[in-house]
Copies of this chain bind each other. A is one copy, B any other.
Amino acid sequence: MRVFSYFNRAIHGHPAFSKLVVLFSLSSGGLVAYSESQSDSGGHGVEINQMEPKKKRVVVLGTGWAGTSFLKDLDFSSYDVQVVSPRNYFAFTPLLPSVTCGTVEARSIVEPIRNIMKKRSGEIQFWEAECLKIDAANKKIFCRSNLNENLVGNNEFLLEYDYLVIAVGAQVNTFNTPGVLEYCHFLKEVEDAQNLRRSVIDCFEKAVLPGLSEEERRANLHFVIVGGGPTGVEFSAELHDYVHEELVKLYPAVKDLVKISMIQSGDHILNSFDERISSFAEQKFQRDGIEVLTGCRVVSVSDKLISMKMKSSKEVSSIPHGLVVWSTGIGSRPVVRDFMEQIGQGHRRVLVTDEWLQVKGCPNVYALGDCATIDQRKIMEDILTIFKAADKDNSGTLTVEEFQDVVQDILIRYPQVDLYLKSKHLAHVTDLLKDSKGNDRNEVDIAGFKLALCQVDSQMKSLPATAQVAAQQGAYLSRCFNHMEQSSSNPEGPLRFTGSGRYQFRPFRYKHFGQFAPLGGEQAAAELPGDWVSIGHSTQWLWYSIYASKQVSWRTRYLVVSDWSRRFILGRDSSRI
């Protein structure tokens, strides 16, 4: 009976699922068994376990940086956690460019998600499947496994959640350029790196075959990288090293025909980095013979040609290629796009959350990592309420003391204030209240307060789509989940200027620990905290040590380090497997 009432509710709750349920019921009763077990553990079997408080069900989508970092720290004893991802492993994606050339093996940068979860107490529930639809209204998701169709049993299933954590990452953005999906390589997944490695060898094997003209050999050995970001730059550098350290010895007949080109729409490569790094990289690439075409946009890719348009001259030219790697831009995955339509975010470019990583307009759904962006509240939107809350004596003016009482909450709630202070080299936040000549003022009225803060919001910028951001968000969110109960009675967050009381948690704040760009030839460039820039061989060693320390397990740490050592001693392998 309970099963049927569950079905009824499921069907009535969301008519779109009724067809699916009928489909499931037809196939050997698999879902029936599942629904029953779900209803036991899922809050429907209240008549049995009324005494014990039910654990809240958390469903996590994705096992990338954000999802894994969330799972690593989550207290499994307080939640019933289910993880859904088409990949049963976590991949250390910053090393993907190294996998393309065999500097590091694919298997050295992956760790089974079950291994990671095993270390946590409580029950492990991981399903190797893809979430195809989020039904936020009914707190359900619909999943399908991509496993071998020859295996018996349904590949489709429904999960119910109390909290949903969306960490599915992003997909490649082709900017609707024709031919990109068909003829370009990408560098987002481990399989991409493995395919790329094979394809590089293919280009060499093809180029040395008897019966080709020199022009054909040259075309096959022309490697084109679209996008001058850190991934594209690192791949170019790795490829250059691979070719010049190993392949020229094995394919001596064609060693002078190899060419690597990088196409960048901006004026410089690595334009998210400090200018010094960007120009060092460009000079190094020039010395290495890697052609950098800046101010140049790809208009189409075919199996043999890549066409591009110079921004300056509007001229379109086509060049033959052996292989194109597309490493520019990311876009939302279909399941996220569909979800955005449902919750009224259809017009947004990417899923939007508040500063607590909660999806806007959708309580109990969190989104983090590359699939989401934080919509930081502007201070100017709240300026009146802030003023009102701070002006305790309702005098219509704010004294420095009154301001100081709320300043901590302002700094936590609006991180742009901190950035603004730094950019203006102001020592203390009360310096904001100084008049235009820099003299202290005892009090300001609302107009003066607005004027003092009017520039602050200009410092807001969205976070980059990096592993670092995703990992910090995952760790932040797991902390929130672990403190959910105690913080509900004892909120940790800043004052609610627009309401009463305090926020349950402090908003997420990103700490930038710097970024690296390996440039090949055992050299790297790094942007370190405090605007430090470091370039050269020592930076490459810093890169080695930081990347080794950041590994998710001792196993992968050992494997990555031994791969590096092997490469130094024995070189890279060029077998086409």
Interface residues of A (CB under 8 A from B): 24, 28-31, 33-34, 37-38, 87-89, 105-107, 110-112, 114-115, 118, 126-129, 145, 147-157, 159, 183, 190-191, 194, 199, 201-203, 205-206, 208-213, 215-217, 219-220, 249-251, 303-304, 320, 322, 554-555, 558-559, 562, 566, 570-571, 573-577
In the complex, are the beta carbons of A208 and B28 less than 8 A apart?
Answer: no
Among all A-B residue pairs, the 7 with the closest Cβ atoms: A89-B575, A34-B211, A153-B212, A153-B216, A128-B205, A150-B303, A30-B211
Q: A570: nearest residue on chain B (CB-CB)?
A: B555
Report how far A89 CA is from B202 CA in the complex, Å: 13
In the complex, are the beta carbons of B147 and A202 less than 8 A apart?
Answer: yes
Which of these, B110, B129, B213, contacts A28 with CB under 8 Å? B213
- Copies of this chain per assembly: 2
Report how far A424 CA is from B517 CA in the complex, Å: 75
Question: Shortest beta-carbon distance, A196 to chain B, in Å?
Answer: 12
Question: Shortest beta-carbon distance, A150 to chain B, in Å?
Answer: 4
In the complex, are the beta carbons of A106 and B577 less than 8 A apart?
Answer: yes
Q: A33: nearest residue on chain B (CB-CB)?
A: B213
Do A127 and B208 contact each other (CB < 8 Å), given the known contacts A216-B28, A304-B150, A575-B111?
A: yes
Determine the chain B residues whose CB is within 8 A of the CB of A31 once the complex forms.
Answer: 211
Q: A302: nearest residue on chain B (CB-CB)?
A: B150
Determine the chain B residues whose CB is within 8 A of the CB of A114 once the complex forms.
Answer: 250-251, 574
In the complex, are the beta carbons of A147 and B88 less than 8 A apart?
Answer: no
Question: Shortest beta-carbon distance, A185 to chain B, in Å?
Answer: 11
Question: Shortest beta-carbon distance, A506 to chain B, in Å?
Answer: 35
In the complex, are the beta carbons of A206 and B153 less than 8 A apart?
Answer: yes
Which of these, B29, B159, B217, contacts A210 with CB under 8 Å? B159
Determine the chain B residues whose CB is within 8 A of the CB of A28 once the complex forms.
Answer: 213, 215-216
Q: Give 7 pairs: A residue, B residue, CB < 8 Å, sorted on A.
A: A33-B213, A38-B210, A88-B574, A114-B574, A127-B210, A151-B206, A562-B562
In the complex, are the beta carbons of A190 and B88 less than 8 A apart?
Answer: no
Do A203 and B151 contact each other (CB < 8 Å), given the known contacts A145-B209, A210-B159, A211-B34?
A: yes
Question: Shortest beta-carbon distance, A200 to chain B, in Å?
Answer: 11
Do A573 and B107 contact each other (CB < 8 Å), given the known contacts A150-B303, A151-B322, A211-B157?
A: yes
In the complex, are the beta carbons of A220 and B151 less than 8 A apart?
Answer: yes
Do A558 and B570 contact each other (CB < 8 Å), given the known contacts A250-B115, A304-B152?
A: yes
Report how far A215 CA is from B571 CA in the complex, Å: 49
Determine the chain B residues whose CB is within 8 A of the CB of A191 once the complex forms.
Answer: 577
Report how far A33 CA is from B201 CA in the complex, Å: 24
In the complex, are the beta carbons of A574 and B112 less than 8 A apart?
Answer: yes
In the complex, are the beta carbons of B576 and A88 less than 8 A apart?
Answer: yes
Question: Shortest beta-carbon distance, A77 to chain B, in Å?
Answer: 17
Q: A303: nearest residue on chain B (CB-CB)?
A: B150
Determine the chain B residues whose CB is within 8 A of the CB of A209 once the complex forms.
Answer: 127-129, 145, 147, 153-155, 157
Further 12 A-B residue pairs, CB within 8 A, beyond A151-B203, A151-B206: A28-B216, A29-B213, A30-B211, A30-B212, A34-B212, A105-B107, A115-B574, A127-B208, A128-B206, A150-B183, A153-B219, A156-B211
